Amino acid sequence: MDQKQPVWTKPFIVFITALFCCVLWGSATPAIKIAYQLFHIGPEETASRLMLAGARFLIAGIMIILFGSLLKRKFLFPKKESWGKILALAFVQTVGQYYFFFLSLANTTGVRGSVINASGNFLAILCAAYIFRMEKMTVRKWVGCITGFLGIIVLLGGFRVLLDGGNVTFAGEGAMVVADLFYALSGCMIKRYSQHEDPVVLSGYQFFIGSIILMIISSLMGGRLVFSSPSCVLNLIYMGFISAGAYTLWGILLKYNPVSRVSILGFLNPVMGVLLSALFLGENREAFSLNGLLALILVSAGIIIVNLAPHHKAAVNG
């Protein structure tokens, strides 16, 4: 009776939608670093960074709720039993992930941040298999993950640089890894919650609540935003759209597909982030260095290796 597969499970649709999300997310790195310049926020101004993040996700949350309501032709509002899940997502995905994400981008280059950000996709696969027990790891998935991790290590200068510390810092590269761990956990949470919840409602309201929490914390710390030009407003609206568009579509993909099938396509994030950082931030030397190109090849190889894996039993989720 249920012969027709949802359009969101078709491989071409999954890939094109994920690619669009990755282009949006890839543009987030240069957009945030440009915002730091427009709003005159220095690396040490944690409170103002949190205010910027809160303002971005307040706009994103409102956009998602309004857009979803227009599509459904009714105002979207969570069920009473959904608020606990929304609050949990708000703390993990918006507050936890983006506190460290915004911290990292204040202390590292756009190219480095974009490539390291790919580790969230590896961690999502590991979390889905070993923490949430939603999927099984295979040799092919391990090979793809290891290949992608090698790409990140190559960009950072190899194992020797990592072992001596080199120019790797917790406030920069380390903070991005912590942000990626929150990303991995939230991806699995969305996958589980969206089996019985509307992913648009989950995304919109967790952004909205998370943004309020961020802005309250920022206000208590003395954070503020100074709108010195119309570019500040345009930048903020675009950053809100990045999250509204990408997370809504990504949540829908996670609802209808295994976490690994969707999350592994997030390895396109560093490719887009590196290219857009080179274009908008002028980081061409690092982006197109031998290490930079080799890193992107390895990350792309990781995508290909994992996605060649057979997906039988993919629809079975606990």
Of 44, 3, 39, which Cα lies nearest the Cα of 233?
A: 39
- Give residue 145's pLDDT band: very low, low, confident or very high (50, 70, 90): confident
> What is the reported pLDDT for 192?
86
- 54-111 pLDDT, tens digit each: 999 999 999 999 988 987 889 999 988 899 999 999 999 999 999 999 898 888 888 8
Extract the tokens encoding 255: 């609802």
Residue 147 pLDDT more than 80?
A: yes
pTM attached to this predicted model: 0.81
Q: What is the pLDDT of residues 242-295, one digit of tens each?
A: 988 887 788 778 778 886 678 677 767 778 888 999 989 988 888 888 888 888
